[in-house]
Amino acid sequence: MLPLYDFRGVAEAKDLQINEGRRRLALCPGRSEAWCSMSNKKRGIWTVVCIYTLFLAGALEGAGGGERPGLIIQWDNDLLTGTDDGYTNGARVAHVRELSPDGEGFNRLQKFLESLTGVEREGVFGDWQFPEPRIERIHYGVGLTQLMFTPGEPEFVKPRRGERPYAGWLGLEFSLQANAGHSASTATLSVGTTGRHSYAEESQDWVHQNISDSLNFQGWATQAPSELTLNLHFDHKQRISFLETTNDWPIQIAGFYEWGAALGNFRTDTYLGALVRVGHNLPATYTTPRVQLGSFTSTIFSEDSPQAGDFSCYGFACARGYAVLHDISLDGPLFRDWEASVDSEPWVGELGFGVAASWRSMEISLAHTLRSREFEHQLNRSRFGSVVLRVAAPF
Q: Mean pLDDT over all residues of the chain?
A: 81
Residue 245's pLDDT is what? 78
Contact at 8 Å (CB) between 331 and 375?
A: no
Judge whether residue 222 has pLDDT over 90. yes
Identify which has the larger pLDDT, 157 or 32: 157
**Is 70 exceeded by the pLDDT of residue 153?**
yes
Read off the pLDDT of residues 287-297 as tens digits, 9 standing for 90 and up: 788 888 887 76
pLDDT of residue 29: 55
Beta strands in the chain (DSSP E): 70-77, 86-99, 137-150, 167-179, 183-194, 228-239, 252-264, 267-280, 285-292, 295-299, 311-327, 347-359, 362-371, 383-392
Q: Distance between CA 156 and CA 216 in Å, rounded? A: 11
Q: Give the Cα separation of 330 and 390 in Å (integer).
A: 31
Q: What is the pLDDT of residue 41?
A: 52
CATH, range 43-392:
2.40.128.140
Instruction: Give the span between the Cα atoms of 185 and 189, in whole angstroms.
Output: 14
Which residues are 368's β-sheet partners? 353, 385
**Across-strand partners of 320?**
273, 350
- Shortest CA distance to 244 belongs to which of 189, 194, 302, 296? 302
**Residues 6+ positions from 54 with CB-CB distance below 8 Å:** none
pLDDT given for residue 393 in this prediction: 64
Distance CA 290, CA 165 (A): 22
pLDDT for position 198:
96
pLDDT at 10: 40
**Which tops the pLDDT comparison, 243 or 60?**
243
Most confident option among 58-62, 357-361, 386-390: 386-390
Residue range 166-177: mean pLDDT, rounded:
95
Most confident segment among 329-333, 334-338, 382-386: 329-333
pLDDT of residue 268: 97
